[in-house]
Chains A and B, each alone.
Chain A
């Protein structure tokens, strides 16, 4: 009887602990963190959800050369850290995210927290290490 009670207590504490320690979803495979400038300028890092964009577009929409509208380069180079993204370029020049997120094609970047949703200290690159 004591053993059963002990087992039950163990299970209950395990359940409670799991309930407390369970965190809400912290991203998805292939999420990108952009934090070369954000934290230096006092903003939380940007988390770019690849899945949300892949559900709508093919890779080449953003990554094929000649998609900037002017010039030969892609909207985003496929190497983390090689895109000099900056709010001025997005909002005023319509580059990078601003190529679509301009209020006409996709929503305008007016709510900071929608993109600046990362936790302090996140490193630029893919959010999750590769599940080997």
Chain B
């Protein structure tokens, strides 16, 4: 110890600090090792996939695919053997079902989840087609849907919180009017007694937000308009 100190280690003031630095170095090294292990783990499944897919492909029924529709998703399933029995376990064990792999290029919100509203503005996120004008309906007999409805509603907030701006645009781009009106929100100003408690308990916005749509942990995503 003392030898090392005399050999030009005296930049560091005390042994305590040196211990800290050493501990940090060890921690960083272990972290690096762990990251490497994780990376190799992640790299393995795609390499193993073709092998599992090969035996099942000849037995897979070669159904003549109908004329390509704009909504069709790629080829039938060839990822697993068809006689495989269900095994309880974590879902999305395979890389092709790992959202972190599939959605790695998608815009993220502050909380780390996918920002589907930002994604809505993208023309072509990778090879996906996700824009307000794509895939209006699965039923070709139905008329094309109406364009998104740009109508912002200001909802007064309690106390010093900035007021809420509810944008109809992303909601009407994704949903139908009948999903919210009149079941969740009555279409009359002042007739919806919204409160954060009700939202947390799954009423009003909380019917979707906090469960399926973006979580309500980030206040500033809705409370955007300062008072005054």
Binding site for B on A (CB under 8 A): 1, 3-4, 7-8, 11-12, 15, 18-19, 23-32, 43-44, 47, 49-52, 54-61, 63-67, 69, 78-79, 99-100, 103-108, 110-114, 116-120, 126, 130-132
Contacts and interface: CB of A to CB of B under 8 A. Distances in A.
Contact of A117 (B81, B89, B200): B89
Interface string B112-123: 011010000000
Interface in B79-129: 79-82, 84-93, 97-100, 102-103, 106, 111, 113-114, 116, 128-129
B169 to A, nearest CB: 13
A12 B128 contact: no
A58 B100 contact: no
A99 B97 CA distance: 21
Interface of B: 1, 19, 22-23, 26-27, 30-31, 33-34, 37, 63, 65-66, 69, 71-73, 75-77, 79-82, 84-93, 97-100, 102-103, 106, 111, 113-114, 116, 128-130, 132, 135-139, 142, 145, 173-176, 178-179, 200, 207-208, 210-213, 215-217
Nearest to B16: A3
B1 A52 contact: no
A60 B173 CA distance: 9
Given A50-B212, A99-B138, A58 B173 contact: yes
B116 A108 contact: no
Given A43-B86, A103-B63, A30 B77 contact: no
Contact of B138 (A4, A8, A49, A105): A105
Main secondary structure of the interface of B (DSSP, over half): loop
Contact of B92 (A8, A25, A106): A25
Given A110-B82, A111-B77, A131 B99 contact: no
Given A7-B26, A24-B93, A19 B174 contact: no
Contacts of A51: 99, 102-103, 114
Contact of B103 (A55, A108, A112): A55
B26 A11 contact: yes
B57 to A, nearest CB: 14
A55 B106 contact: yes
A110 B221 CA distance: 42
A97 B92 CA distance: 18
Contact of B215 (A26, A47, A107, A131): A131
Contacts of A58: 132, 135-136, 173-175
Given A15-B34, A24-B93, A105-B138, 14 more contacts: A27-B91, A49-B99, A55-B130, A60-B176, A61-B135, A64-B175, A65-B178, A66-B139, A105-B73, A108-B77, A117-B89, A126-B211, A130-B211, A132-B216
A49 B84 CA distance: 21
**7 interchain residue pairs of minimum CB distance:** A64-B176, A107-B77, A130-B210, A117-B91, A15-B30, A113-B86, A28-B99
